Amino acid sequence: MRYHKIPDETVRRLPIYLRGLMFSAEKGSEHISSQSLATFVGVRSHQIRKDFSYFGDFGTPGVGYNIGKLAREIQRILRLDVVKRAALIGVGDLGSALLAYPGFGMYGLDIVAAFDSNPTKVGAKVNGIGIEDVSGIDSLRSRGIFLAIVAVPRQVAQETVDRLVGAGVKGILNFAPCRVEAPKRVKVITLDIAMELARLPYYMPAS
């Protein structure tokens, strides 16, 4: 089944596997079975094997998967094998936390520029990154930055996205709590932090 489109749900799980493989590599063993990986990442072993079957034979029956080889293959599929430079728009509380967030590097993502509309912030440095005025967004194309993280207030989210699209950005992670429109060629993922929390009470027993 090597020549098959990878289902979206599988793509959603690939970073989970990658994270699990990296942390389990710390333990020194070279191979891991779908069973052990299953308990480690919280996905059924059937599911894991099915997911991996979409892109080739990586496991050895009786042994398991070679951790390093599999991790590299997942990185290649997700196109994380070359470091991706990203820009952050909006250096408020959340934006500052994102600049300091250590987790992006493990996925080959690097925030190399930050923009804010507040003149009192422009020029300052946060975590080694100098804050530029939002007008500088237009220079992203020439700087070879095609990935952006939007952490601005909801009211200006759409205009920010429009500007990013105009600057040639191809992928946007949007933290503003609203839908934003973009041409089909630009992939937008919206992540509303509060919304995730809003689902919890539904699943909690009567409180």
Nearer to a second copy, 106 or 124 (CB): 106
49, interface contact from DNA, a second copy, none, CB < 5-8 Å by kind = DNA
How far apart are CB 152 and a second copy at their closest, in Å? 13
Return d(Cα 59, Cα 111) in angstroms, integer. Answer: 34
Nearer to DNA, 20 or 64 (CB): 64
171, interface contact from DNA, a second copy, none, CB < 5-8 Å by kind = a second copy
Return d(Cα 148, Cα 170) in angstroms, integer. Answer: 8
The residues, any chain, with a CB within 8 Å of residue 23's CB and separated by 6 or more, are 40
Is the separation of the CB atoms in 179 and 203 below 8 Å? no
- Report the interface residues with a second copy, using CB under 8 A: 11-12, 14-16, 18-20, 23, 40-42, 77-80, 84, 86, 93-94, 96-98, 100-101, 103-104, 106-107, 109, 146-147, 149, 170-173, 177-179, 185, 187, 189, 191-205, 207
- Report the interface residues with DNA, using CB under 7 A: 1-2, 7-10, 33-35, 44-47, 49-50, 52-53, 57-65
194, interface contact from a second copy, DNA, none, CB < 5-8 Å by kind = a second copy
60, interface contact from DNA, a second copy, none, CB < 5-8 Å by kind = DNA
How far apart are CB 98 and DNA at their closest, in Å? 28
For residue 99 the two structure tokens come to 């600049």
Q: What are the phi and psi torsion angles at 131 (to 5°)?
A: -85, 125
How far apart are CB 10 and a second copy at their closest, in Å? 11
Burial track 125-160 (b if 16+ CB lie within 10 A, e otherwise)? ebeebebbebebbeebeeeebbbbbbbbeeebbbeb
How far, CA to CA in Å, does 60 sit from each of 55, 63, 67, 69?
Answer: 15, 5, 12, 12
Question: Treating both helix axes as pointing N-terminal to C-terminal, what angle do 8-25 and 67-77 enclose, rounded to 10 degrees?
Answer: 140
For residue 27 the two structure tokens come to 């333990």
Greatest distance between any 2 Cα atoms in the chain: 62
Nearer to DNA, 10 or 75 (CB): 10
Nearer to DNA, 35 or 135 (CB): 35
Nearer to a second copy, 120 or 207 (CB): 207
